[in-house]
Structure 1
Amino acid sequence: MKMPKFIVEKTEAPLCAVDFLRLRVPAAPAAYLKQLLKKGKVRGRSGVLKGSDLLQAGELLQLPDSGRLLELLATPAACLQELRILYESREILVVDKPAGLAVHAGQGHEQANLTDQVESFLLKRGIRFKVAPVHRLDLETSGPVLFGKGKQACGRLGQLFMRQEVDKSYLALVAGRTPGSGRLESQLTAKGKEKQARTDFRALFRNEQASLLELQLHTGRQHQIRRQLAAQGHPLFGDKRYRGPCPADLPRMFLHCNRLAFVDPFSESPISIESPLPEDLAIFLPCVNITL
């Protein structure tokens, strides 16, 4: 098995070793590359490299003869998911998360995730400071995710969520005919503690088989929408965990964040970001006699 090698170009110096590898092996999860460096598997001009070591132009890097690494190197760029940017400013980036992509890497295992992709996207543009999401969406849920560029931006954006100054609305398809509108208020248990959960909803379309709802969260409890609607006898389509109907024609849980609105804490301008219902969900609606 041939040992992979890289030569640092002038335009890439000075980059730290981990950022260089992320540019050269874009298909690799950041956690995997960090482990290679941590285990002393990457060598440079001065010997074993640490992730923080700065590389110089012309420096030769030797990587381990790993089958997985060679597979990642062979992954064509066309196979990598492109980011859909919904909004960007100097301090803020909002990205449309597809279903099936985690916001963060899973604990104890490596996987492709949105945060890695955002960091790589900014790195290619020469932006090397830390970025982080200030909220999350479940793995199967699609829609906008707000990232802060740098520690200060993350802190100020996080405060908006803590003060409940971010409006988030969702589209969900649920079983049965719901009321035309209403408010769901309940106590949800999280980590052994009961916390209040409040959600407003209105029905966009409804029949005896299903209802398409637009929901606005006033609190951010785990699985809040899914748990509250299931408790009302209207579980989400595709939600196996809370016993929703799971027809073969539906590829995933029918839950999409369609709007994110807040006041930019830096420019003080109102920001409203919309994400249309993805095609994989929209094409299922005629199956329950709903048309947009």
Structure 2
Amino acid sequence: MLTYRIRSSDAGLTCLQYLRLILPAAPQSYLKQLLRKGKVRADGKPVSPDTPLEAESILTLPQSNRLQELAAAAVPMLVDILHEEDLLLVVDKPSGLAVHRSKGHEDDNLLERVRRRSKALGQEFQIAPVHRLDAETSGPVLFGKGHQAISSLGKMFMAGGIEKSYLALVRGDLPDKGRLETPVPAKGTWKDAATSFHVRRRLGAYLLVELLLESGRTHQIRRQMADRGLPLVGDRRYGGLAVCGFQRLFLHCNRLSFRNPFSGEQIAVESALPPPLSELLDTLG
């Protein structure tokens, strides 16, 4: 039996929409046939194609060679939705997943997952990210829906209208609050860059630091902290060391805020530390 727990970000999808997400290679006629025959169940009860799914429900499918093959071949398509409106979408990106198609991420990247979700939901508009995060960094990414929305949100980002704060772990010492102003390399030259910070927790020799970007250079936080002699834990590129066997970069975008250019509403989206990061903090202190 194939078993799936419905996440809160997928609640409200119809059963057929959800099946198209988790089994993208399956013909829709085959999925409908399974549903009509009562072989798909939510919390033990047969469901129809149009049945809306509830968070934490358990969806089960029968054991069969065909379903096993379809499930094994499926590229992940589920995404964690933090905020969604008619013209925009904020998705929680996991560590290790690139935002765009790139070397090593040709078939599976955040944009591809979001596009496939839109297709499974029958949405035909163009969708694209307004900004990016490094593949190793986790946290919220803003997408625009449709050409006009993508353009408007992109202009807002270029004008500095999106505020992002990050949580990072370093070994060493810093004052409780401060500002980093060392320049960083960008497009063959050096560019001014500013990042404000405050120490959220002191964990023995380690610090959990919240950093607010005042400019948006590539690798800005990683480079500036390394220049300060405090490379981020797990940042092999800039000299960061592994801690307690923890290998990934400890950098997470925990908050994204902006004024909605379409409604004027101020939007603030928060993203909790992923379990591997929060578990490391528990280990340290």
- TM-score bracket, normalised by the shorter chain, equals 0.7 to 0.9
Residues 77, 116 of structure 2: 8 Å contact kept: no
The question of 1:284 aligning with 2:272 is answered no
What one-letter code is carried by the residue in structure 1 that aligns with 2:265?
S
1:262 to 245, 258, 263: 258
Q: CA deviation at 1:114?
A: 0.5
Q: Are 1:121 and 2:117 matched, yes or no? A: yes
Is contact 2:232-2:249 (8 Å) kept? yes
Cα 1:192/1:78, change in 2 over 3 Å: closer
SS in structure 2 of the partner of residue 197 of structure 1: coil
- 5+ residue gaps, structure 2, are 1-19, 27-65
Q: What residue in structure 2 maps to residue 100 of structure 1? A: 96
1:142 to 138, 142, 166: 138
**CA contact 1:86–1:96 (8 Å) conserved in 2:** yes
Whether 1:190 aligns to 2:186 is yes
The total of aligned residue pairs comes to 225
| TM-score for the superposition, normalised by structure 1 | 0.72
The structure-2 alpha-carbon separation of the partners of 1:150 and 1:189, relative to structure 1 and needing over 3 Å to count, comes to: same
Which one of the candidate residues 157, 169, 173 is aligned to 1:173? 169
Over 3 Å counting, the alpha-carbon distance change for 1:144 and 1:109 in structure 2 is: closer
Between stretches 154-163 and 256-265, larger displacement belongs to 154-163
Describe how 1:206-245 pairs up with structure 2 within 5 A: 206-207=202-203, 209-245=205-241
Contact 2:98 2:105 in 1 (8 A): no
Identical amino acids, percent of aligned pairs: 49
Per-residue CA shift, 1:45-95, capped at 9, x if unaligned?
xxxxxxxxxxxxxxxxxxxxxxxxx9x964448872521100111100000
Cα deviation, residue 152, structure 1: 0.7
Gaps of 5+ in 1: 1-19, 27-69
TM (norm. structure 2) is 0.73
Aligned-partner Cα distance in 2 for 1:83–1:207: 32
Structure 1 position 24, deviation (Å):
4.4
In the superposition, relative to structure 1, how do residues 131 and 286 fare at CA in structure 2: closer, same or farther (>3 Å)? same
For the residue of structure 2 that corresponds to 1:260, the secondary structure is strand
Distance 1:108 1:246 in 2: 23
Q: Does 1:130 align with 2:130?
A: no
Q: Superposition RMSD on alpha carbons, in Å?
A: 2.4
For the residue of structure 2 that corresponds to 1:276, the secondary structure is coil
CA distance in 2, matches of 1:109, 1:284: 27
* The structure with more radius of gyration: 1
Q: 1:84 aligns with which of 80, 83, 91?
A: 80
